[in-house]
Structure 1
Amino acid sequence: MAEAHIPLGPVVLATGGTGGHVFPAEALAGELEARGLPFALVTDSRGRQWQGALSRRPIHYIHSASPTGSLRRRLAALFALGLGLFDAWRALGRIGPSAVVGFGGYASVPTLIAARLRRLPAMLHEQNAVLGKANRLVLGGAARVATSFARTQYLADDDRRACLVGNPVREPVRALRSSPYRAPAEGRVIDLLVFGGSQGAASFSQVVPEAILSLPAALRARVRLVQQCRPEDIERVRARYAAAGVVAELAPFFADLPARLAAAHLVIGRSGASTVAELATIGRPSILIPYPHAADDHQSANARAFEATGACIVMPHVSFTEAALASQLTALFESPQRLAAMAAAAHAAGRPDATARLADLVIEMTGFSLSPSGVAA
């Protein structure tokens, strides 16, 4: 008599916190859903706002907190994480998962510890060039570590668990992978895009306008600018550009940012993991100013790793001045062949198949069997 097929349990995705941790989980959820693989989400209360594939499967909420700040706050956070471990232990018992995938952030820690206690196979995904503190806490229980950069600080180069897959990007970004880069011809318009995170960067609103206005008049006249600004800065910055005759479109948020990236000859921005991945996927040259207060200074590590490919220029925050930026802009705008080379290097560093490669690792770890069509059987 043939052996009965016992279906494996769902894959648990453990994440929370900022969008940098959440988006790769959302991307993997969509890929697993497309392949017919069951999954469930374990997160903290912030997960109630999520949409897409993550919202279409069971969500299990646990306690969590970040042990930072005053002693009182750290103690309260440790207590919350202890409650979260109890929550996660019970949730995994109810779910009966085949594996657990963690995406960093302290909201994932209790679930990864509970997975280790239950002897479940677990995998981590690290978005940055520095293994985050939360991922470092649970590294010992991981069977695989999916990385986004060729080298990841705090992860040994000879760690056989590591597998370079890249950082998933949004579908509108992947759709622009084949969008060609055309360097600005002499005397033609130069499209410059400036953005500094979801709310813009205050320092960008101070430094970028003064740098643009200090460019040689002939060069400044060619600049067509799209800049993200904080709401409180927009009118001041708009008036500054208008007085100098600079064509500028300003807004606190651009819903069509992928298209703006593709249309840019040069991008000025931060160096969060998602920004670097999107610049690489589309293939656009950039000047990156790492956020100086990022945990473990991971934005500097991201930017330096990207710079090593020839894709960007890194300006540390302390060096981000009007004169320094104007000098970089002048050199780049007067050397379109260098811009083209940077764009090509960025494109070569792109990993648009990161989501599929991440799903492949999950399948390999869980032992799900697939039909010839690639759908779970």
Structure 2
Amino acid sequence: MTTAPLILLAAGGTGGHLFPAEALGVELMRRGLRVRLATDSRALRYGGLFSRDMIDVVPSETLRGRTPWSLAYTGIMLAAGTAVALNLMRRLKPAAVVGFGGYPTVPPLLAARLFGIPGIIHDANAVLGRANRFLSSRVDAIATSLPGVLDRDPALAAKTTTVGTPMRPAILAAAAVKYAAPDPAGPFRLLVVGGSQGARVMADVVPGAIERLEPALWSRLILTQQVREEDMARVRAVYDRLKIKAELAPFFTDLPAKLASHHLVVSRSGAGTVAELGAIGRPSILVPLPGAIDQDQFANAGVLSQAGGSLRIPQTEFTSDRLASEISALAAEPAKLAALAAAARTVGRLDAAQRLADLVMKVAGI
């Protein structure tokens, strides 16, 4: 009996990289292939498809600065990771390696190139990430979530396919839930999420915005907010004083279901978040993370806002007064919320995992 071909998936250890890898893994396994994940130690805390015996931890390091020490340390760690990845290639003999961004993808894909193993990268952002930009000329194929990402580079565009962002089963289930605009006198469900780098600004701005709403809206409001542990007491104190029905937590394991059940989402605009809002079709107010070298979150939010599915607010303009004004206006216009939801849905691609799996199998010659 012949062993099914193995596809090695490589991803940084955050949800934005791991969730698309998991979605592709589910689809490849459905097609009878084997999958493993090469990543950093952060991924061990995530549940989902990849059990610990399916994960290979590869040393790596993000480039955090331009000082000689920082550059040297990153180089040493990536070299160490490449040595580990070379041993992986000898042992596993994968049919292809698929990277999903983040510096932990660099060693496996460099090792694959040295062994002549086909390499593919997927980028979910509107702007190619730094690790993927480095790898782009060293792989056989590039998959993007959004069209036009590499149009200015003909050499890379020639090997690029737009597939969308592969969605976890939980997102696909949430996408089956149709958007129901709030009744003008009924509950108004507001979801606020920020991720590890965004929850602080949400804790600083959102409670003040809620306090500025008309009291009539307080009684309608059902609020779910991601709040870091160190901010929890001060945020909860505001909502308790206003008698707001609020669920606060540092992390939500059922975020796809929460996206589906809320009328409006206030969030950062990471690639995964934007893709999920499009797939599920939910109206949002997006606040891009400032200061990024390539302004990827600003570009991501622009995809939804240009489609008419979101309001993009730069962090410099994200004040309690501004947010209160936007929430009040949207809560008073259910039809506007429904229109935003419908427009967001036009951006979503629910068949991205299948499209990426097709590309992987073609490049791998399976």
Q: TM-score under structure 2 normalisation? A: 0.90
Q: 1:313/1:34 Cα in 2 relative to 1: closer, same or farther (>3 Å)?
A: same
Partner in structure 1 of residue 357 of structure 2: 359
1:52-201 alignment runs, 5 A limit: 52-55=48-51, 59-69=55-65, 70-152=67-149, 156=153, 159-198=157-196, 201=199
Q: 1:251/1:28 Cα in 2 relative to 1: closer, same or farther (>3 Å)?
A: same
Q: 1:126/1:337 Cα in 2 relative to 1: closer, same or farther (>3 Å)?
A: same
Distance 2:248 2:57 in 1: 39
How many Å apart are 1:50 and its aligned residue?
5.2
Report the AA paired with residue 131 of structure 1: L
Partner in structure 2 of residue 310 of structure 1: 308
Distance 2:257 2:40 in 1: 33
Distance 2:22 2:201 in 1: 31
* Mapped contact 1:8–1:97 kept (Cα < 8 A): no
Q: 1:316/1:83 Cα in 2 relative to 1: closer, same or farther (>3 Å)?
A: same
Distance 1:100 1:172 in 2: 25
Report the AA paired with residue 314 of structure 1: R
Of 23, 35, 39, the match for 2:35 = 39
Which has the higher Rg, Structure 1 or Structure 2? 1
* Mapped contact 1:228–1:254 kept (Cα < 8 A): yes
* Mapped contact 1:149–1:164 kept (Cα < 8 A): yes
Partner in structure 2 of residue 18 of structure 1: 14
Q: CA RMSD in A?
A: 2.5
Q: Higher helix share goes to which structure?
A: 2
Structure 2 runs not aligned, ≥5 long: none
Partner in structure 1 of residue 244 of structure 2: 246
Partner in structure 1 of residue 265 of structure 2: 267
* Mapped contact 2:14–2:42 kept (Cα < 8 A): no
Distance 2:356 2:21 in 1: 10
Partner in structure 2 of residue 211 of structure 1: 209
Distance 1:249 1:12 in 2: 39
How many Å apart are 1:153 and its aligned residue?
6.0
How many Å apart are 1:85 and its aligned residue?
2.4
SS of residue paired to 1:176: helix
- More off after superposition, 232-241 vs 316-325: 232-241
Q: 1:362/1:243 Cα in 2 relative to 1: closer, same or farther (>3 Å)?
A: same
SS of residue paired to 1:363: helix
How many Å apart are 1:270 and its aligned residue?
0.9
Of 299, 302, 327, the match for 1:301 = 299
- More off after superposition, 159-168 vs 211-220: 211-220
SS of residue paired to 2:37: strand
How many Å apart are 1:117 and its aligned residue?
2.6
Partner in structure 1 of residue 256 of structure 2: 258
- More off after superposition, 264-273 vs 223-232: 223-232
- More off after superposition, 313-322 vs 234-243: 234-243
* Mapped contact 1:15–1:43 kept (Cα < 8 A): yes
Q: 1:95/1:253 Cα in 2 relative to 1: closer, same or farther (>3 Å)?
A: closer
Distance 1:200 1:109 in 2: 26
How many Å apart are 1:103 and its aligned residue?
1.2
Distance 2:63 2:2 in 1: 41
* Mapped contact 2:150–2:157 kept (Cα < 8 A): no
Report the AA paired with residue 343 of structure 1: A
Distance 1:240 1:47 in 2: 35
* Mapped contact 1:85–1:111 kept (Cα < 8 A): yes
How many Å apart are 1:267 and its aligned residue?
0.8
* Mapped contact 1:273–1:299 kept (Cα < 8 A): yes
Structure 1 runs not aligned, ≥5 long: 369-377
Report the AA paired with residue 151 of structure 1: G
Report the AA paired with residue 31 of structure 1: E
SS of residue paired to 2:176: coil
Q: 1:316/1:48 Cα in 2 relative to 1: closer, same or farther (>3 Å)?
A: same
Of 327, 347, 350, the match for 1:349 = 347
1:309-328 alignment runs, 5 A limit: 309-328=307-326
Number of aligned pairs? 364
Distance 1:47 1:240 in 2: 35
How many Å apart are 1:265 and its aligned residue?
1.0
Distance 2:336 2:220 in 1: 18
SS of residue paired to 1:97: coil
Distance 1:114 1:185 in 2: 56
- More off after superposition, 353-362 vs 304-313: 353-362
Q: Deviations over 1:176-224 (max 9, x none)?
A: 2121212122222211111111586122122112112212333343322
How many Å apart are 1:235 and its aligned residue?
2.7
